[in-house]
Amino acid sequence: MLTILFDGIAYGMLLFILACGLTITLGLMNFINLAHGAFAMAGGYITVVMMNRYGISFYWCLPAAFLLTAAIGAILERTLYRWLYQASHLDQVLFSVGIVFMSVAAADYFMGGQQQLINLPPELSGRMEILGVGIGRYRLFTIVVCAVLVVLLQLILSRTRFGSRLRAAVDDRRVAMGLGINVSFVFALTFAFGSGLAGLGGAMGAEILGLDPNFPLKFMIYFLIVVSVGGTSTISGPFLAAMLLGIADVAGKYYVPAIGPFVIYALMIVMLIIRPSGLFARGAGR
């Protein structure tokens, strides 16, 4: 019972890292970026290449996946995305879906269509018993990393100067510019940061979720569920949503395997009926 709860939390945490970047671009920058999964996949492949081809330790791969994906995100933002900030949501969706398909084909071309596997350092594999509860070491590691990230993100957004600039830029772009905030720089940095988080999620998820060229398509639905149930205006909303979905998914598959896969969708529908704009909606702000 507790093991299931633990697995659910780990799964939810993973979903959260993967999806929270999307919360940032979608909620704060008001940009519908369906290509989010492509950045996650990039992070995963960076890890696979570094570990399997160059034998670099897994611990170095995680920050590398974050930084490199963030760099890719920054380049794409400067060259492509920024032209679409003012475009309609439909244009943004079409554009980012195009990116998804290109990334799928590119990954297939360069890395092949097979599942990529990584071998974790021994201290992260296997499981241990704590007070009679079986705990997977890697899942524990995931939980710790994600918990730290959640706290950091919340602090950055609510306590730092950058956070307040970002919120100002989102709320009213023109006034923010008038106040001397370099809005396009703030957006570029935020976008890169969100992409980097996706990359980190992809790197950490390679072990549990697997990694193949269809990753962005396979997980797009999960990201969108997390973001739509959680709402896009806070970090804690998607976090709770991810937790809830992770636990419900794992528990559903354990207790009622016959209908297990449907549990999270049912949950999503119920949540959206009760709170159409997410768990912690900011109200009709825009």
Partner 1 sequence: MMRGMLLGAASLVMALAGTLPAAAQEVVKIGLILPMTGPFASTGRQVSAGAKTFMEMKGDTVAGKKVELIIRDDAGVADQTRRIAQELVVNESVQVLAGGGLTPLAMAVAPVATQAKVPMVVTSAGTAAITKASEFITRTSGTLPQYSLPVGTWAAQNGIKKVVTLVSDYGPGLDAEKWFTKEFTSKGGEVSEAVRVPLQNPDFAPFLQRVRDAKPDAVFVFLPSGVGSLFMKQFADRGLAEAGIKLIATGDVTDDDILNSMGKPALGTITGHFYATAHDSPENKAYVEAFEKANNGMRPNFMSVGGYDSMALIYAALEKTKGDASGPGFMEAVKGLSWTSPRGPVSIDPETRDIIQNIYMREVKEVDGELHNVEFETFAALKDPEKAEAK
Which DSSP string corresponds to 189-257? HHHHHHHHHHHHHHHHHHHHH---TTHHHHHHHHHHHHHHHH-SS-SHHHHHHHHHHHHHHHHHHHH-T
Residue closer to partner 1 by CB (options 84, 217) is 217
The H-or-E segment that residue 135 falls in is: strand 133-136
Residue closer to partner 1 by CB (options 120, 281) is 120
Q: At closest approach, how far in Å is the CB of 208 from partner 1?
A: 6
By CB under 8 A, name the one of 97, 108, 140, 163 that touches partner 1.
Answer: 108
Residue closer to partner 1 by CB (options 169, 241) is 241
The answer to whether 112 contacts partner 1 (rule: CB under 8 A) is yes
The answer to whether 126 contacts partner 1 (rule: CB under 8 A) is yes
**C-alpha–C-alpha distance, residues 268 and 272, integer Å:** 6
Residues 249-268 that bind partner 1 (CB under 8 A): 249-254, 257-258, 260-261
Give the up-direction half-sphere exposure of residue 78: CA atoms within 13 A in the CB hemisphere: 8
Per DSSP, the three-state class of 31 is coil
Nearest in space to 227 (alpha carbons), one of 259, 271, 274, 172: 271
The answer to whether 98 contacts partner 1 (rule: CB under 8 A) is no
Binding mask 172-211 for partner 1 (x = CB under 8 A): -----------------------------------xxxx-
Residue closer to partner 1 by CB (options 84, 208) is 208
Q: At closest approach, how far in Å is the CB of 11 from partner 1?
A: 6
The answer to whether 218 and 40 have CB atoms below 8 angstroms apart is: no
Phi, psi (deg, nearest 5) at residue 128: -140, 165
The H-or-E segment that residue 173 falls in is: helix 173-178
Q: At closest approach, how far in Å is the CB of 115 from partner 1?
A: 4
**C-alpha–C-alpha distance, residues 158 and 174, integer Å:** 21
DSSP letter (8 states) at residue 52:
I
Residue closer to partner 1 by CB (options 36, 253) is 253
Residues 231-250 that bind partner 1 (CB under 8 A): 249-250
The answer to whether 87 contacts partner 1 (rule: CB under 8 A) is no
CB 57: neighbour CB atoms within 10 A? 10
First-to-final CA distance of the chain = 43
The answer to whether 213 contacts partner 1 (rule: CB under 8 A) is yes
Number of residues near partner 1 (by CB under 8 A) = 42
Per DSSP, the three-state class of 35 is coil
By CB under 8 A, name the one of 21, 27, 136, 199 that touches partner 1.
Answer: 136
Residue closer to partner 1 by CB (options 175, 221) is 221
Q: At closest approach, how far in Å is the CB of 105 from partner 1?
A: 7
Site residues for partner 1 per CB under 8 A = 3-4, 7, 10-11, 52, 105, 108, 112-115, 117, 119, 125-127, 134, 136-139, 207-210, 212-214, 218-219, 222, 249-254, 257-258, 260-261
